Each structure stands twice: as C-alpha cells, then as structure tokens.
Amino acid sequence: EAGVTQFPSHSVIEKGQTVTLRCDPISGHDNLYWYRRVMGKEIKFLLHFVKESKQDESGMPNNRFLAERTGGTYSTLKVQPAELEDSGVYFCASSQDRDVPSLRGYTFGSGTRLTVV
Amino acid sequence: KNQVEQSPQSLIILEGKNCTLQCNYTVSPFSNLRWYKQDTGRGPVSLTIMTFSENTKSNGRYTATLDADTKQSSLHITASQLSDSASYICVVTVFTGGGNKLTFGTGTQLKVEL
C-alpha cells in the first residue's frame, strides 16, 4: 500500500508569506495527525483529525495555523503569515484505529522542512 | 522539562558492536511505549510497541525493555550495522477519551562507523 505522502518536501519562504503544506494519508485511514519538530526539540503534536472532523487541536500554536481536511481524505496545514519561529519539520501521520489504543502504530510521512527567512 | 527524556543525546559506535539507549518518562496515564527509528530526511518508522504489561519486545536485532514501575525503557541494538545510523525516538502514548496522544522524546542520534 502507498504510504503517507507529504508535499512539498522542502519550502523556504519569507517572513510574512503564506505556506500551505499537504498530507495524503494512507487510503482508508480515518485518523490523521499533524506534528512539528523545531530545531533541537522533540516532535510535538499539533492536531488530530478523525475523518473530516478536528478531534483534538490542542497543540496548534496560534491562530496563524489553519488545518483542514475537507472530505476526510487529504489534509492541508496553512501558515499565514509565517514567522521565523515556525521553521521546522512538519510531519503528518495516519492510523486506522480510532478509539482504542493502536498497537499497530502510526505511519508517518517523510515530513515537510519549512524554513522561514 | 520534557516528559520523555532520552539518553545519551548522541552515540558513536563501531560496526558490529552492541549499544543500549535509555528512555525515562513521566507522562501518564500510560497506554503504550514505542521506539521509532528516523533516518535523515525521512519520517519515523516504528520498531517496537509495548503495553504496560509487556517487559520486552524484539524486532530482529532490536530489543526493547520496559519497566512500568520505574517508568524506564531501553532499546538494545545487537551487532550494529552502518544502516543503523539514525535517530532513535522513544514515544509514550497516553490514551484519552478522544484517542491517542503521543509524547515524543528528543531522540538519541546514533552513528555507526567502520
């Protein structure tokens, strides 16, 4: 089966610009997660979709970040306007299991490396 | 202070040698603990997953241990290979009413040399 696909793999933008990251989960996976790793820090949770609904968005840093998953398939994460501290690697993951702990784990995408200059 | 602490931060070993990576966590309520391998430029890939009732889990040359009482886990790599060079991340899962929430360690950067 195809894995989790993220696009673009790299993005360099100027402060104040807008960037949209895309994630295509594994087909049939209801659960889609966004994570972020900033330089030198651990990967941190941003938000969780179950199909098209936001299940948990407690990790979103501020209102400059907007995530959508229209139709419950792919998801986008828009940063507008971007700030220097938004630089990092943004990972997407998907899983099939819903309300029970997943022993099969998550499948992560390769990430989008965002650099704001 | 991070709720999942890993040590060492980085490690260099010779090919063929064994090594052990450590993970201490404070996050609760504990659901399961995972070890991931992350190659440069790639996403994390799951190596092992253990629930609180499991003490050890193996995946080829990787063996993870878990002591839920002391909240410690280790990942032992046997007969290391050059391809083992990567970041190894300990992840603790908390099960909430809305689903799973992962708490990541900062990882141990392993380099295997000839």
- Smallest Cα distance from B101 to chain A, Å: 8
Using the 8-state DSSP alphabet, how is residue A84 labeled? G
Query: CA of A105 to nearest chain B CA: how many angstroms apart?
Result: 7
Question: For chain B, what's the residue count?
Answer: 114
* Per-residue confidence (pLDDT) for residue B29, from 0 to 100: 78
Tell me how far apart the 2 most distant CA atoms of chain B are, in Å. 48
**Who's near B69: CB < 8 A, 6+ residues apart?**
none
- B99 and A98 within 8 Å at the Cβ level: the answer is yes
A23-74 pLDDT, tens digit each: 999 998 999 999 999 988 999 999 999 999 998 899 999 999 999 998 889 9
Instruction: Taking the CA atoms of A29, B33, A101 and A40 in sequence, report the sign of the dihedral they define.
Output: negative
Instruction: Identify all chain B residues contacting A88, using CB atoms and an 8 Å cutoff.
Output: none
Q: Would you state the pLDDT for residue A100?
A: 45
The Cα B38–Cα A109 span in angstroms is: 11
In this predicted structure, the answer to whether residue A20 has a pLDDT above a threshold of 90 is yes
Q: What is the DSSP letter of A50?
A: E
Residue with tokens 């070890």: B35
Check A93 against B43: CB less than 8 A apart: yes
Does residue B89 sit at the A interface (CB-CB below 8 Å)? yes
d(CA A21, CA A9): 9
User: Residues of chain A with pLDDT > 90: what percent?
Assistant: 75
Condensed to tens digits (0 to 9), the pLDDT of residues B90-113 reads 999 887 666 667 899 999 999 999
Q: What is the DSSP letter of A18?
A: -
Place of tokens 């702990």: A101
Q: How far apart are CA A99 and CA B96, in angstroms?
A: 9
DSSP per-residue string spanning B102-114:
EEE---EEEEEE-
Predicted local confidence at residue B1, as pLDDT: 58
**Nearest-by-Cβ selection for A31 from B44, B95, B99:** B99
Residues 6+ away with beta carbon under 8 Å from B94: B27, B28, B29, B30, B31, B100, B101, B103
Quote the CA–CA distance of A33 and A20 in Å, as a whole number. Answer: 16
Are residues B30 and B52 in contact, defined by beta-carbon separation less than 8 angstroms? yes
Which residue among A41, A105, A108 sits closest to B49, beta carbon to beta carbon? A105
A5 in Cβ contact with A92 (< 8 Å): no
Q: How many CB pairs under 8 A join A and B?
A: 64
pLDDT digits (tens, 9 = 90+) for B44-76: 999 998 988 899 999 999 999 999 999 999 999
Pairing mode, strands A10-13 and A112-116: parallel
**A57 token code pair:** 């968005």
CB atoms within 10 A of CB A82: 23
pLDDT at residue A8, rounded to an integer: 97
**Inter-chain residue contact A101 with B89, CB threshold 8 Å:** no
